[in-house]
Structure 1
Amino acid sequence: MSFRGLTWDHPRGYNALAAAKGPIAWDTQPLEGFESAPIAELCAEYDLVVLDHPHLGEALANDCLTPLEKVFASSALEEIAQAAIGPAYSSYAMAGQQWALPLDAATQVMALRADLTDARPISWTEVDTLSQQGRVALSLAGPHAALSFLSICAALDPALDLRDTGWPDDSVAAQAIDILKPLAARTPEHTKSLNPISLLNLMSSTDDIQMIPLVYGYVNYTRAARPVTFHDAPHSGARPGSILGGTGIAISRSAQVDDTLRDHLLWLMSAETQRGFIPDHDGQPGLRSAWQDTRVNDRWGNFYSNTAETLEHAAIRPRYDGYIAFQSHAAAYLRDCFARRTPTAQAVRGLRDLFQSSQPERMTP
C-alpha cells in the first residue's frame, strides 16, 4: 500500500523523507503553510502530516489524528521517548496520548557570522551592546515576534510553563518587551519581513547581518557560501530562553496503517537512521544521540553540540485550539507596538488581553 504525506519545502524538511524511498509519497508546502495551515484540512487530504506541536489543540478539537498508541507497541514509543532530545517527544503528548513522532528537533538559537564579529554574546545585555554596532537583526516576521517575546520570558522565569494556558506575569512580560524594544528599533528595515529561512539566506549570502540573537536553527546554513555558526540562545537568568520548534510526523485519522508503514516510521526514528541517514540528507535529527555524535558535529560545524543546551531547556508552547491564530495576532501586535513605541505597560496589557480572548470559553479565566 502507498501513502500520501505532506511536509515542508526546505531541504531540512524534505530531502531525507524523499530519499528514504519508503511507502510514502511526499508533497511539500511553504514554511508559512506549515506554521498556519488548518490541520484538519491537511489531514483530510493526506495520510501523514509533518506538523509543529502547537497544532495539537486544533487537531484534537477536529479529531483528525490517530493516537500513536493505536499504531505502535508501548515499548517502541517508550524507547523513542527516552532517546529524544529535550522536550521533542513530550511536546506531542496531549490529553493522555501521543500524537506525533519527533522526526526533527529545533529551537531558537543564536546565529553568528564569525567572519564579521569576534563577539559571542551570552546575555541579552551583551546582545544589546553588540546591536549598537549595527547589523544585528531580530526575527520578527510571521509569528516570530511573539515567539521571541515568549523565549525571553522563559529565560527570565525558569518556572514558567506555557502548556497549555500558562502566561508570563506582567512583570516578566514587561522586562521581555523592554529587552526587545531597542533591538527591534535597530533591526535593519529590509530584514523585518523575512521569515527565518529568508533571514538566514540573507545572512549567509551577504554581509548585511552579523548576528541574529534568536532564530530557529537550520543546520544547513553551516555549509553556506558564507557559513553561519550557531550557539546557545542568550540568557536572561538561569537558562537560555527558547521556544521549541522542530517537527513531528502525525498520522491522520483516515489512514489505514499497515506493517510496511509502521516499520518505515520506526526506521526513521531509529538511532542508526537519526545519526546517519537523516543528517546525511540535510535533516535535523530528533534523537539526543545524533546531537552528541562526533561525526555528525564534525560534518555540520558543531551545530548540534553548540546548541544542545538550549534545546534541552526549550519551552513548549501553548497548544490549545486557537493558539495558532493568537500567535500570529500577538506577533502583529508586537510589531505595531515596536513601530509606534507603545508604552510597555500598555503593550503588556494588550498581549494579555489577546491571549485570554483567544482561548476556548471553557479555558478562559
Structure 2
Amino acid sequence: MTFRGLTWDHPRGRLALERAGGPVTWDVQPLEGFESAPIRETCANYDLVVLDHPHLGEALNAGCLRPLDELFAAADLDAIGARTIGPCLESYEMAGRLWALPLDAATQVMAVRGDMVQDVPRTWDAVLDMARAGGKVGLSLAGPHAFLSFLSVAQALNPGMDLRNGDVWVPTDTATQALAILGELARLTPEQVWPLNPIGILDLMSNSDALALCPLVYGYVNYADHALDKPIDFHDAPSIGDGAPGSILGGTGIAVSTRCEMTEDLRAHLLWLMREDTQTGFIPQNAGQPSARAAWQDADVNAPVGGFYAQTTRTLETASIRPRHDGFIAFQSDASALLREGFQSNCPDGRLASDLADLFSRSQKTVGRKAG
C-alpha cells in the first residue's frame, strides 16, 4: 500500500524523505505554502503532512489529524522524546496529546559570512553597533518573519514568557523595547533584503557580498557546507547582555491525517526515520537537519558544515514555542505586514506595540474552542 505525503520544496525538506523509500510518495509545496496553507485542505488530500507547530490549533479545531498515542506504542514515543533536542517534541503536544513526530529541528540563529566579519557580535547592542557602522547587516522581514523576529527579541528581553497556549501576550514594556531595536535595524537593512524569505537571504549571502550578517534567520545547514565557495557560518542568536539567546522555534514534524489508515509498514518506516542512527547518519547525509540531540553533538555530523550544529545548540535548547491557537497563522502574517509598514513609516514604538496587542486580541476569537 502506498501513502501520499506532502513536504516543502527545499533539499532540507524533501531530499531525505524522497530517498528514504518506504511506502510513501512525497509531493512538495513552496515554503510560503508550508507556512500559510490551510491545514484542513492539505490533510484532505494527503495521508502524511510535514507541518510546523503553529498550525496545531487550526488542525485540532478542524479535526484533521490523528493523535499519535493511538498509532504508536507509548514506549516508542517516550524514547523519541528522550532523544529529541530542545522543545521540538513538546511543540507538537497540545490538548494533552502528541500530534507530530519531530523530524527536523531549527530555530532562528545568527548567519554570518565569516570572511567578511572578524568579530562576531553576541548581543543586540553589538549588532546595532555593527549596523550603524555600515557593516552590511540585514533583518529577515518578509512573510511572517518580521513578526517572528519581534517575538525573538521580546523573548531575549523577557525569557520567562510562555506564549504557546495563545492566551497571553507580550507585556507592553517588553514589546516597546523590542520594537525600538528592530525598528532601527529594519531601517538599516538593505532594500534588496526586505522581500527575501530566509532561503532568499541565505542565497544572497552565499552568492554575493551584499550582506555580511543576519542576526535572526532560520538556520539551514545546507548553506554551511564548506564545499561551497562562500559558506555561511551560523552562531547563537543575539542576547541582551549576558542573558540567553532569544529565538522562536521552527523545524518540522510529520503528522498523520485522519484520512490515513496506519499499517505496520508505515509505522515501521516512520519509527525508522526517528531512530538515532538514522538521525545521525541518513538524515544529515541527505541534506536533512536532524532533531536528535546526538546528531547536534556528533563531531562527524558537524565537521563538514563548520560546526553548524554545535555552534547553535544553545539557541535551540532554549528556543521558545510560538502561540498555536486557531487564528494564529493569519495573525502572524497580518502582524508582520503591520510591522513592515510601521518600520517604513517610522511609527512610534509605543503605538506599534499597542496595534500589535490589539491585532493579537482579535486573533483569539477561537481560543478555548474544543479541539476535535
TM over 0.5: yes
Given that residues 5 and 48 in structure 2 are in contact (C-alpha distance below 8 angstroms), is that contact kept between their aligned partners in structure 1? yes
The corresponding residue for 2:230 is 226
Moved more, 216-225 or 107-116: 216-225
Given that residues 104 and 291 in structure 2 are in contact (C-alpha distance below 8 angstroms), is that contact kept between their aligned partners in structure 1? yes
The corresponding residue for 1:58 is 58
Displacement of 1:308 after TM fit?
A: 0.4
Displacement of 1:163 after TM fit?
A: 1.2
Given that residues 8 and 31 in structure 1 are in contact (C-alpha distance below 8 angstroms), is that contact kept between their aligned partners in structure 2? yes
The corresponding residue for 1:97 is 97
In the alignment, residue 121 of structure 1 is paired with which amino acid?
A: P
Displacement of 1:293 after TM fit?
A: 0.5
Matched, 1:128 2:167: no
Instruction: State the TM-score, normalizing by the size of structure 1.
Output: 0.98
Task: Determine the C-alpha separation between the residues in 2 that align with 1:185 and 1:323.
Answer: 27
Q: 1:180 to 1:19 in 2, by over 3 A?
A: same
In the alignment, residue 95 of structure 2 is paired with which amino acid?
A: A
The corresponding residue for 2:263 is 258
Given that residues 138 and 184 in structure 1 are in contact (C-alpha distance below 8 angstroms), is that contact kept between their aligned partners in structure 2? yes
Given that residues 134 and 186 in structure 1 are in contact (C-alpha distance below 8 angstroms), is that contact kept between their aligned partners in structure 2? no
Per the alignment, in what secondary structure is the counterpart of residue 322 of structure 2?
coil
The corresponding residue for 2:77 is 77
Per the alignment, in what secondary structure is the counterpart of residue 115 of structure 2?
coil
Q: What is the total number of aligned residue pairs between the two structures?
A: 364
- Show CA shifts across 1:177-216 (max 9, x none): 0011110001000110000001100110000000000000
In the alignment, residue 148 of structure 2 is paired with which amino acid?
A: L
The corresponding residue for 1:190 is 192
In the alignment, residue 296 of structure 1 is paired with which amino acid?
A: V
Matched, 1:86 2:91: no
The corresponding residue for 1:334 is 339
Displacement of 1:361 after TM fit?
A: 5.0
Matched, 1:148 2:149: yes
Structure 1: tracts of 5 or more residues without a match: none
The corresponding residue for 1:314 is 319
- Show CA shifts across 1:97-135 (max 9, x none): 000000000000000001111021110000001112231
Task: Determine the C-alpha separation between the residues in 2 that align with 1:244 and 1:311.
Answer: 7
Per the alignment, in what secondary structure is the counterpart of residue 118 of structure 2?
coil
Task: Determine the C-alpha separation between the residues in 2 that align with 1:99 and 1:86.
Answer: 17
CA RMSD of aligned residues (A): 1.0
Displacement of 1:2 after TM fit?
A: 0.7
Task: Determine the C-alpha separation between the residues in 1 that align with 2:170 and 2:244.
Answer: 16
What is the aligned counterpart of 1:169 among 168, 171, 175? 171
Task: Determine the C-alpha separation between the residues in 2 that align with 1:258 and 1:316.
Answer: 32
Displacement of 1:236 after TM fit?
A: 1.5
In the alignment, residue 333 of structure 1 is paired with which amino acid?
A: L
Task: Determine the C-alpha separation between the residues in 1 that align with 2:202 and 2:192.
Answer: 13
The corresponding residue for 1:286 is 291
Per the alignment, in what secondary structure is the counterpart of residue 27 of structure 1?
strand
Given that residues 326 and 367 in structure 2 are in contact (C-alpha distance below 8 angstroms), is that contact kept between their aligned partners in structure 1? no
In the alignment, residue 211 of structure 2 is paired with which amino acid?
A: I
The corresponding residue for 2:15 is 15
Displacement of 1:300 after TM fit?
A: 1.6
Matched, 1:357 2:359: no
Per the alignment, in what secondary structure is the counterpart of residue 290 of structure 1?
helix
Q: 1:362 to 1:83 in 2, by over 3 A?
A: closer
Per the alignment, in what secondary structure is the counterpart of residue 359 of structure 1?
helix
- Show CA shifts across 1:230-271 (max 9, x none): 000000152100000000000001101100000000000000
Given that residues 326 and 366 in structure 2 are in contact (C-alpha distance below 8 angstroms), is that contact kept between their aligned partners in structure 1? no
Task: Determine the C-alpha separation between the residues in 1 that align with 2:105 and 2:85.
Answer: 8
Task: Determine the C-alpha separation between the residues in 1 that align with 2:143 and 2:220.
Answer: 17
Moved more, 343-352 or 234-243: 234-243
What is the aligned counterpart of 1:299 among 282, 294, 304? 304
Q: 1:361 to 1:34 in 2, by over 3 A?
A: closer
Q: 1:59 to 1:361 in 2, by over 3 A?
A: closer
Task: Determine the C-alpha separation between the residues in 2 that align with 1:266 and 1:280.
Answer: 18
Given that residues 280 and 295 in structure 2 are in contact (C-alpha distance below 8 angstroms), is that contact kept between their aligned partners in structure 1? yes
Displacement of 1:225 after TM fit?
A: 2.4
Task: Determine the C-alpha separation between the residues in 2 that align with 1:29 and 1:194.
Answer: 18
Task: Determine the C-alpha separation between the residues in 2 that align with 1:197 and 1:72.
Answer: 34
Per the alignment, in what secondary structure is the counterpart of residue 28 of structure 1?
strand
Task: Determine the C-alpha separation between the residues in 2 that align with 1:361 and 1:101.
Answer: 25
Task: Determine the C-alpha separation between the residues in 1 that align with 2:170 and 2:354.
Answer: 12
Displacement of 1:360 after TM fit?
A: 2.1
Task: Determine the C-alpha separation between the residues in 1 that align with 2:229 and 2:262.
Answer: 42
